[in-house]
Amino acid sequence: MSPLSFPSPAVSVSAEVRDAVAAGRPVVALETTIVTHGLPRPENLAVATEAESLLRAAGVVPATVGVVAGRPVVGLSGAELDRLATDDAVTKVSVRDLPVALARGEHGGTTVAATALLARRAGIGVFATGGLGGVHRGAAATFDESADLVALAGLPILVVSAGVKSILDVPATLERLETLNVTVLGYGTDTFPGFYVRDAGVPVPARVDSPEEAAAVVAARDALGLRSAVLLANPVAAADQLDVDEHRAVLDAALAEAADHGVTGHDTTPFLLDHVRRATGGRSLAVNVAVYRGNVTLAGRVAAALAG
Ligand code: PSU
Ligand code: MN
Protein backbone atom coordinates (compact mmCIF):
# COMPACT_ATOMS: atom_id res chain seq x y z
CA MET A 1 0.00 0.00 0.00
CA SER A 2 1.23 3.50 -0.75
CA PRO A 3 2.41 5.38 2.33
CA LEU A 4 0.10 8.17 1.17
CA SER A 5 -3.00 6.09 1.78
CA PHE A 6 -2.11 4.77 5.25
CA PRO A 7 -5.00 5.50 7.65
CA SER A 8 -4.39 8.40 10.00
CA PRO A 9 -6.15 9.52 13.17
CA ALA A 10 -4.66 13.03 12.85
CA VAL A 11 -7.29 14.40 10.46
CA SER A 12 -10.25 16.40 11.78
CA VAL A 13 -13.37 15.45 9.84
CA SER A 14 -16.58 17.49 10.32
CA ALA A 15 -19.57 15.60 11.67
CA GLU A 16 -21.54 16.35 8.49
CA VAL A 17 -18.84 14.86 6.26
CA ARG A 18 -18.24 11.88 8.52
CA ASP A 19 -21.95 11.03 8.64
CA ALA A 20 -22.35 11.41 4.86
CA VAL A 21 -19.33 9.18 4.14
CA ALA A 22 -20.53 6.56 6.62
CA ALA A 23 -24.01 6.55 5.05
CA GLY A 24 -22.64 6.35 1.49
CA ARG A 25 -24.17 9.71 0.54
CA PRO A 26 -22.41 11.80 -2.16
CA VAL A 27 -19.52 13.95 -0.91
CA VAL A 28 -17.13 16.12 -2.93
CA ALA A 29 -13.80 17.39 -1.57
CA LEU A 30 -12.65 20.91 -2.48
CA GLU A 31 -9.11 22.35 -2.22
CA THR A 32 -8.09 25.67 -0.64
CA THR A 33 -4.90 26.73 -2.45
CA ILE A 34 -7.31 28.18 -5.02
CA VAL A 35 -8.71 30.28 -2.12
CA THR A 36 -5.44 31.24 -0.45
CA HIS A 37 -3.13 31.61 -3.46
CA GLY A 38 -5.14 31.14 -6.67
CA LEU A 39 -7.80 33.86 -6.66
CA PRO A 40 -7.69 37.49 -5.50
CA ARG A 41 -9.77 38.77 -2.58
CA PRO A 42 -12.69 39.08 -2.25
CA GLU A 43 -13.55 36.76 -5.18
CA ASN A 44 -11.67 33.93 -3.45
CA LEU A 45 -14.15 33.57 -0.57
CA ALA A 46 -17.18 34.21 -2.80
CA VAL A 47 -16.09 31.48 -5.23
CA ALA A 48 -15.35 28.97 -2.44
CA THR A 49 -18.70 29.65 -0.77
CA GLU A 50 -20.55 29.40 -4.07
CA ALA A 51 -18.89 26.04 -4.79
CA GLU A 52 -20.25 24.68 -1.51
CA SER A 53 -23.72 26.07 -2.30
CA LEU A 54 -23.72 24.53 -5.79
CA LEU A 55 -23.01 21.11 -4.26
CA ARG A 56 -25.59 21.46 -1.48
CA ALA A 57 -28.25 22.49 -4.03
CA ALA A 58 -27.51 19.24 -5.88
CA GLY A 59 -27.85 17.17 -2.68
CA VAL A 60 -24.08 16.68 -2.33
CA VAL A 61 -22.13 17.36 0.88
CA PRO A 62 -19.14 19.67 0.29
CA ALA A 63 -15.91 18.85 2.13
CA THR A 64 -13.60 21.83 1.84
CA VAL A 65 -10.12 20.87 3.03
CA GLY A 66 -7.46 23.03 4.66
CA VAL A 67 -5.11 23.42 7.61
CA VAL A 68 -6.35 25.60 10.48
CA ALA A 69 -3.92 26.39 13.30
CA GLY A 70 -1.99 23.22 12.56
CA ARG A 71 -5.11 21.02 12.33
CA PRO A 72 -5.80 19.30 8.99
CA VAL A 73 -9.56 19.73 8.50
CA VAL A 74 -11.87 17.93 6.07
CA GLY A 75 -15.14 19.88 6.03
CA LEU A 76 -14.11 23.40 7.05
CA SER A 77 -16.73 25.48 8.87
CA GLY A 78 -17.78 28.82 7.39
CA ALA A 79 -15.64 30.62 9.98
CA GLU A 80 -12.60 28.46 9.18
CA LEU A 81 -12.98 29.02 5.45
CA ASP A 82 -13.35 32.76 6.05
CA ARG A 83 -10.13 32.70 8.08
CA LEU A 84 -8.14 30.96 5.35
CA ALA A 85 -9.53 33.36 2.74
CA THR A 86 -8.63 36.52 4.66
CA ASP A 87 -5.65 35.80 6.95
CA ASP A 88 -2.34 37.11 5.60
CA ALA A 89 -0.28 34.39 7.23
CA VAL A 90 -1.62 31.41 5.30
CA THR A 91 0.91 29.18 3.56
CA LYS A 92 0.49 27.03 0.47
CA VAL A 93 0.56 23.48 1.76
CA SER A 94 1.40 20.54 -0.45
CA VAL A 95 2.15 17.07 0.94
CA ARG A 96 5.77 17.83 1.83
CA ASP A 97 4.60 20.93 3.75
CA LEU A 98 1.95 19.21 5.89
CA PRO A 99 4.32 18.06 8.66
CA VAL A 100 5.78 21.56 9.02
CA ALA A 101 2.38 23.29 8.99
CA LEU A 102 1.07 20.87 11.62
CA ALA A 103 4.13 21.06 13.84
CA ARG A 104 4.12 24.86 13.76
CA GLY A 105 0.37 25.34 14.14
CA GLU A 106 0.12 27.22 10.85
CA HIS A 107 -2.87 27.99 8.64
CA GLY A 108 -2.60 26.48 5.17
CA GLY A 109 -4.40 26.30 1.85
CA THR A 110 -4.05 22.73 0.63
CA THR A 111 -2.96 21.92 -2.94
CA VAL A 112 -4.53 19.17 -5.01
CA ALA A 113 -1.90 16.75 -3.66
CA ALA A 114 -2.50 17.58 0.02
CA THR A 115 -6.28 17.85 -0.42
CA ALA A 116 -6.51 14.46 -2.15
CA LEU A 117 -4.42 12.89 0.63
CA LEU A 118 -6.58 14.31 3.44
CA ALA A 119 -9.85 13.63 1.58
CA ARG A 120 -8.89 9.98 1.10
CA ARG A 121 -8.07 9.70 4.79
CA ALA A 122 -11.67 10.80 5.42
CA GLY A 123 -12.99 8.18 2.97
CA ILE A 124 -13.93 10.64 0.22
CA GLY A 125 -13.66 9.44 -3.38
CA VAL A 126 -14.46 12.52 -5.49
CA PHE A 127 -12.69 15.86 -5.62
CA ALA A 128 -13.12 19.03 -7.70
CA THR A 129 -10.37 21.53 -8.49
CA GLY A 130 -9.81 24.20 -11.14
CA GLY A 131 -6.50 23.22 -12.64
CA LEU A 132 -4.20 20.41 -11.62
CA GLY A 133 -0.48 21.11 -11.18
CA GLY A 134 1.77 19.53 -13.79
CA VAL A 135 5.13 19.48 -15.50
CA HIS A 136 6.60 22.96 -15.98
CA ARG A 137 8.17 24.07 -19.24
CA GLY A 138 11.90 23.51 -18.93
CA ALA A 139 11.39 20.73 -16.37
CA ALA A 140 14.03 18.61 -18.11
CA ALA A 141 16.56 21.07 -16.64
CA THR A 142 14.78 22.27 -13.47
CA PHE A 143 12.93 19.06 -12.40
CA ASP A 144 9.96 21.35 -11.59
CA GLU A 145 7.00 19.02 -11.63
CA SER A 146 4.02 19.43 -9.30
CA ALA A 147 3.69 16.94 -6.44
CA ASP A 148 0.04 16.71 -7.57
CA LEU A 149 1.07 14.17 -10.19
CA VAL A 150 2.92 11.84 -7.82
CA ALA A 151 0.18 12.15 -5.19
CA LEU A 152 -2.46 11.04 -7.68
CA ALA A 153 -0.43 7.93 -8.46
CA GLY A 154 -1.06 6.63 -4.93
CA LEU A 155 -4.54 7.90 -4.04
CA PRO A 156 -7.70 6.15 -5.30
CA ILE A 157 -9.77 9.27 -5.85
CA LEU A 158 -11.48 10.84 -8.87
CA VAL A 159 -10.34 14.41 -9.54
CA VAL A 160 -12.24 16.74 -11.87
CA SER A 161 -9.91 19.33 -13.43
CA ALA A 162 -10.02 21.46 -16.58
CA GLY A 163 -6.79 19.82 -17.64
CA VAL A 164 -3.76 21.96 -16.76
CA LYS A 165 -2.95 25.57 -17.54
CA SER A 166 -1.16 25.99 -20.84
CA ILE A 167 1.67 27.83 -19.06
CA LEU A 168 2.74 24.26 -18.21
CA ASP A 169 4.18 21.63 -20.58
CA VAL A 170 0.91 19.85 -21.41
CA PRO A 171 2.28 16.89 -23.45
CA ALA A 172 4.93 16.20 -20.77
CA THR A 173 2.24 16.33 -18.07
CA LEU A 174 0.21 13.68 -19.90
CA GLU A 175 3.33 11.53 -20.34
CA ARG A 176 3.98 11.70 -16.60
CA LEU A 177 0.35 10.87 -15.78
CA GLU A 178 0.73 7.78 -17.98
CA THR A 179 3.95 6.74 -16.21
CA LEU A 180 2.24 7.24 -12.83
CA ASN A 181 -0.71 5.00 -13.80
CA VAL A 182 -3.27 7.80 -13.51
CA THR A 183 -6.35 7.04 -15.65
CA VAL A 184 -7.14 10.15 -17.73
CA LEU A 185 -10.65 10.62 -19.11
CA GLY A 186 -11.83 13.45 -21.37
CA TYR A 187 -15.35 14.55 -20.45
CA GLY A 188 -17.23 14.98 -23.71
CA THR A 189 -13.93 15.61 -25.50
CA ASP A 190 -11.19 13.72 -27.32
CA THR A 191 -8.50 16.25 -26.44
CA PHE A 192 -7.01 17.38 -23.13
CA PRO A 193 -8.27 20.82 -22.03
CA GLY A 194 -5.86 23.73 -21.48
CA PHE A 195 -7.82 25.32 -18.61
CA TYR A 196 -8.51 28.71 -20.28
CA VAL A 197 -9.28 26.98 -23.57
CA ARG A 198 -11.16 23.78 -24.38
CA ASP A 199 -8.40 22.14 -26.37
CA ALA A 200 -4.68 22.04 -25.52
CA GLY A 201 -3.98 20.08 -28.70
CA VAL A 202 -3.11 16.72 -27.12
CA PRO A 203 -5.41 13.67 -27.36
CA VAL A 204 -6.83 12.06 -24.20
CA PRO A 205 -6.44 8.29 -23.86
CA ALA A 206 -10.18 7.76 -23.30
CA ARG A 207 -13.41 9.71 -23.46
CA VAL A 208 -16.61 9.52 -21.40
CA ASP A 209 -19.83 11.40 -22.08
CA SER A 210 -21.78 11.09 -18.85
CA PRO A 211 -21.24 11.04 -15.07
CA GLU A 212 -22.41 7.41 -15.10
CA GLU A 213 -19.65 6.42 -17.56
CA ALA A 214 -17.06 8.11 -15.36
CA ALA A 215 -18.49 6.38 -12.28
CA ALA A 216 -18.27 3.01 -14.08
CA VAL A 217 -14.53 3.56 -14.67
CA VAL A 218 -14.04 4.34 -10.96
CA ALA A 219 -15.99 1.21 -10.00
CA ALA A 220 -13.82 -0.90 -12.35
CA ARG A 221 -10.64 0.59 -10.88
CA ASP A 222 -11.85 -0.24 -7.38
CA ALA A 223 -12.86 -3.77 -8.40
CA LEU A 224 -9.29 -4.25 -9.64
CA GLY A 225 -7.89 -2.95 -6.35
CA LEU A 226 -5.91 -0.25 -8.15
CA ARG A 227 -4.80 2.56 -5.83
CA SER A 228 -4.29 5.28 -8.43
CA ALA A 229 -6.48 8.27 -9.27
CA VAL A 230 -8.83 8.85 -12.16
CA LEU A 231 -8.43 12.33 -13.66
CA LEU A 232 -11.64 13.53 -15.29
CA ALA A 233 -10.59 16.33 -17.64
CA ASN A 234 -13.54 18.70 -18.06
CA PRO A 235 -13.18 21.48 -20.64
CA VAL A 236 -14.60 24.94 -19.96
CA ALA A 237 -17.86 25.67 -21.83
CA ALA A 238 -17.19 26.98 -25.36
CA ALA A 239 -18.98 30.24 -24.57
CA ASP A 240 -16.72 30.84 -21.54
CA GLN A 241 -13.28 30.03 -22.94
CA LEU A 242 -10.64 32.67 -23.72
CA ASP A 243 -10.46 33.53 -27.40
CA VAL A 244 -8.06 30.92 -28.83
CA ASP A 245 -5.90 33.39 -30.80
CA GLU A 246 -5.78 35.83 -27.91
CA HIS A 247 -4.83 32.97 -25.60
CA ARG A 248 -1.90 31.96 -27.82
CA ALA A 249 -0.68 35.54 -28.24
CA VAL A 250 -0.92 36.35 -24.53
CA LEU A 251 0.84 33.14 -23.57
CA ASP A 252 3.69 33.72 -26.04
CA ALA A 253 4.13 37.28 -24.76
CA ALA A 254 4.08 36.12 -21.12
CA LEU A 255 6.68 33.41 -21.76
CA ALA A 256 8.91 35.89 -23.62
CA GLU A 257 8.65 38.46 -20.84
CA ALA A 258 9.46 35.84 -18.19
CA ALA A 259 12.56 34.86 -20.17
CA ASP A 260 13.57 38.54 -20.61
CA HIS A 261 13.25 39.17 -16.88
CA GLY A 262 15.14 36.00 -16.02
CA VAL A 263 12.18 34.73 -13.99
CA THR A 264 12.73 31.12 -12.87
CA GLY A 265 11.61 28.49 -10.37
CA HIS A 266 8.63 29.10 -8.13
CA ASP A 267 8.29 32.73 -9.26
CA THR A 268 7.44 31.60 -12.79
CA THR A 269 3.79 30.61 -12.31
CA PRO A 270 2.67 33.76 -10.44
CA PHE A 271 4.57 35.89 -12.98
CA LEU A 272 2.93 34.21 -15.98
CA LEU A 273 -0.55 34.19 -14.46
CA ASP A 274 -0.29 37.84 -13.50
CA HIS A 275 0.78 38.69 -17.04
CA VAL A 276 -2.15 36.72 -18.47
CA ARG A 277 -4.59 38.45 -16.09
CA ARG A 278 -3.35 41.95 -17.01
CA ALA A 279 -3.06 41.22 -20.72
CA THR A 280 -6.64 39.88 -20.89
CA GLY A 281 -8.09 42.78 -18.92
CA GLY A 282 -9.14 40.43 -16.14
CA ARG A 283 -11.02 38.05 -18.47
CA SER A 284 -8.73 35.21 -17.41
CA LEU A 285 -10.18 35.58 -13.91
CA ALA A 286 -13.74 35.23 -15.23
CA VAL A 287 -12.66 32.10 -17.13
CA ASN A 288 -11.04 30.76 -13.97
CA VAL A 289 -14.31 31.13 -12.07
CA ALA A 290 -16.37 29.56 -14.90
CA VAL A 291 -13.94 26.62 -15.07
CA TYR A 292 -14.22 26.01 -11.34
CA ARG A 293 -18.04 26.15 -11.31
CA GLY A 294 -18.18 23.64 -14.16
CA ASN A 295 -15.81 21.26 -12.43
CA VAL A 296 -17.61 21.44 -9.08
CA THR A 297 -20.95 20.76 -10.77
CA LEU A 298 -19.59 17.77 -12.70
CA ALA A 299 -17.88 16.35 -9.59
CA GLY A 300 -21.23 16.52 -7.77
CA ARG A 301 -22.91 14.58 -10.56
CA VAL A 302 -20.20 11.89 -10.55
CA ALA A 303 -20.39 11.61 -6.74
CA ALA A 304 -24.18 11.19 -7.04
CA ALA A 305 -23.74 8.53 -9.75
CA LEU A 306 -21.26 6.64 -7.54
CA ALA A 307 -23.56 6.86 -4.51
CA GLY A 308 -26.67 5.90 -6.44
N1 PSU B 1 -3.41 25.46 -11.17
C2 PSU B 1 -4.30 26.46 -11.30
N3 PSU B 1 -4.72 27.14 -10.20
C4 PSU B 1 -4.29 26.81 -8.95
C5 PSU B 1 -3.37 25.73 -8.81
C6 PSU B 1 -2.96 25.09 -9.95
O7 PSU B 1 -4.70 26.74 -12.42
O8 PSU B 1 -4.70 27.44 -7.95
C9 PSU B 1 -2.93 25.30 -7.44
C10 PSU B 1 -3.59 23.94 -7.09
O11 PSU B 1 -3.90 23.94 -5.71
C12 PSU B 1 -2.49 22.94 -7.37
C13 PSU B 1 -1.26 23.73 -7.00
O14 PSU B 1 -2.60 21.76 -6.62
O15 PSU B 1 -1.53 25.06 -7.45
C16 PSU B 1 -0.01 23.17 -7.64
O17 PSU B 1 1.11 23.86 -7.15
P18 PSU B 1 2.58 23.28 -7.45
O19 PSU B 1 2.76 23.36 -8.95
O20 PSU B 1 3.49 24.18 -6.69
O21 PSU B 1 2.56 21.85 -6.96
MN1 MN C 1 6.99 23.30 -8.33
The residue extents of the domains of the chain are 12-307
**pTM of the shown model:** 0.95
The proportion of the chain whose per-residue pLDDT surpasses 70, expressed as a percent, equals 97
CATH fold label, 12-307 = Indigoidine synthase fold (3.40.1790)
C-beta 94 within 6 A of ligand 1: yes
Q: Is the CB of 165 under 6 A from ligand 1?
A: yes
Residue 114's H or E segment, with its range, is helix 112-121
- Burial grade of 167 (CB within 10 A; 0-12, 13-18, 19 or more): buried
Rounded mean pLDDT of 67-89?
97
Predicted confidence at residue 8, as pLDDT, reads 58
Peptide bond into 42 cis (omega under 30): yes
Average pLDDT rounded to a whole number, residues 87-93: 96
Residues 6+ apart with CB under 8 A from 306: 26, 125, 126, 215, 218, 219
Q: What is the mean pLDDT of residues 129-138?
A: 95
Name the band, by pLDDT with cuts 50, 70 and 90, for residue 268: confident
- 92 is annotated as an active-site residue: no
Is residue 154 lining ligand 1, measured as CB closer than 6 Å? no
Kindly state the DSSP code that residue 117 receives in the 8-state scheme.
H
Mean pLDDT, residues 186-209 taken together: 97
The residue whose CA is least distant from atom 1 of ligand 1 is: 131
pLDDT at 266: 73
Percent of the chain scoring above 90 in pLDDT: 92
